Amino acid sequence: MPYPMRAFAALCGKELRLLSRDRHGLLVLFAVPTLFILIMSLSLRDAFRADAGFSIAVSVIDEDGGTLAHDFVGTLWQQQGFRQVAAEDADVVIHVVPGFSEFLATRHELAASFRDGVAEPPMLQLEFQPSVLPQLRAAAALSVRQCLLSVQSDYLMAEVMGYSDAEMQTMRYLGDPRRLPVEERYRSADGTPAVTPTSVQQNVPAWLIFAMFFAVIPLASAFVVERQQGSLLRLRVLGVSSTLLLASKVLPYYLVNLLQMVVMIAIGVWLVPALGGDRFTVGHSVFGLWMIGTATSLAAIGLALLVAVRVRTTLQATIAGGAISLILAALGGVMVPKLVMPATMQQLTGVSPMAWSLEGFWDIVLRQGGWQDALPEAMSLAGFGLSCLALAAGLLRRNSTNTTTTP
């Protein structure tokens, strides 16, 4: 066997032995993403469901006491998501002001007087707690308005138009938007129905990608220790090139990244459903998963080696590696899904290799595409990783030259 191959095999074996002894580092690489996947998938399970609705604590203070006010309150408690509580415990207190029933009974007669742009007097007052999220506030307010329109429509049909109960039931049926013949579905890469997005479909790829890039900390720290102990200098004296030295670190960490991918996918497929969450769907292209996983690993290892070459202490490696991973995760849609970001932030996600990887995984597991669909993202990640490796090799070569020539 040629010397470079023997040296490469020996260096890879050394890296694997160092990794096997770094139990704390391996624990971080596997335990942290596992906990994130479980916590986030179970916590956000209902947030990705179209039929999940909302839940809010409501208290009603009826200051009118009329028939229509009574009908409105009864209709309100029939709405899903409204939980009746005392006023002091409520997220929103609904005040039915005096004159509510009389106003609704005569509103059709008074409509002409408001056509000149004069606002109608408020007959309901909704007082929200400051801690209520804007989305929840909007959903609750919309539901209250729907109840108000329902009571008003029933009154108009019964008292003004003289509809019978059977006719009113028919009108309610026809007026229900859910009865309209409209089909909703997600489209896959080939136009067929795709997998419905769930929290686990978001979090398994997202935190798997984060775990791969988080390897920058143990890799950079180990590299710094080798440099401080003089191991790198001795290898250079033995004729080991900078390229060969860095390449020997790629294979062991690539194997760790592949193991991470297998473990995280297995957690999404079996453990998350066992705990009450949704099941992770892997798609139809195992090769596509391997391809995007390999490209992500190359990008993560390349970035980690570039950081390792630049830092000088283990503290710098920990701080710089952790900060870079967190920033890329925040920009890349790992911590906050891209779809809920403002338009400006959605455009910024394109600068993060984690975003490229996430799109590639979604091409396979969500859009049910083949490996060709994830190829653009895989090529971008591979190009990024190779660029980082080339830059790291150049910096290491320059540093080694300066070290050996220093008297």
What's the whole-number mean pLDDT along residues 309-333?
A: 88
What values do phi and psi take at 96, rounded to 5? -95, 105
Residue 49 in this model has a pLDDT that exceeds 80: no
Output the pLDDT for position 378.
95
Which one is predicted more confidently, 253 or 17? Answer: 253
What values do phi and psi take at 192, rounded to 5? -85, 165
Is the entire prediction scored with pTM above 0.85? Answer: no
- What single-letter DSSP state applies at residue 190? T
What are the Cα distances from residue 243, in Å, to 4, 283, 309, 390? 11, 37, 12, 8
**Domains in the chain, please, with CATH?**
3-48+198-405 (no CATH), 56-178 (3.40.1710)
**Three-state SS at 354:** helix
- Beta strand ranges found along 191-255 (DSSP E): none
CA distance 223 to 142: 58
What are the Cα distances from residue 333, in Å, to 15, 353, 381? 32, 11, 16
Residue 394 in this model has a pLDDT that exceeds 60: yes
Residue 404 in this model has a pLDDT that exceeds 50: no
Q: What is the mean pLDDT of the chain?
A: 79
Contacts of 15 by beta carbon, 8 Å cutoff, 6+ apart: 248, 249, 251, 252, 253
The region of weakest confidence among 48-52, 65-69, 300-304, 362-366 is 48-52
CA distance 395 to 265: 36
Number of CB atoms found within 10 A of residue 234's CB: 11
Q: Residue 341 has which token pair?
A: 């970001």
Percentage of the residues of the chain whose pLDDT score is greater than 90: 18
Residue 407 in this model has a pLDDT that exceeds 50: no
CA distance 1 to 6: 6
Nearest to 381 by CA among 316, 301, 305, 268: 301
Nearest to 35 by CA among 149, 203, 171, 199: 203
What's the whole-number mean pLDDT along residues 71-98?
A: 86
Residue 406 in this model has a pLDDT that exceeds 50: no
DSSP state string for 34-101: HHHHHHHHHHTTGGG-TT----EEEEEEESS--HHHHHHHHHHHTSTTEEE--GGG-SEEEEE-TTHH
Residue 267's pLDDT band, with cuts at 50, 70 and 90, is very high
Residue 345's pLDDT band, with cuts at 50, 70 and 90, is confident
The region of weakest confidence among 116-125, 182-191, 252-261, 338-347 is 182-191
**Residues 134-143: pLDDT tens digits?**
878 888 888 8
**Three-state SS at 122:** coil
**Residues 166-177: pLDDT tens digits?**
555 555 554 555
Q: Residue 386 has which token pair?
A: 């190779």
**Residues 89-145: pLDDT tens digits?**
888 898 988 888 887 777 555 555 455 554 466 778 888 888 787 878 888 888 888
Contacts of 171 by beta carbon, 8 Å cutoff, 6+ apart: 153, 157, 163
The region of weakest confidence among 161-170, 231-240, 300-309 is 161-170
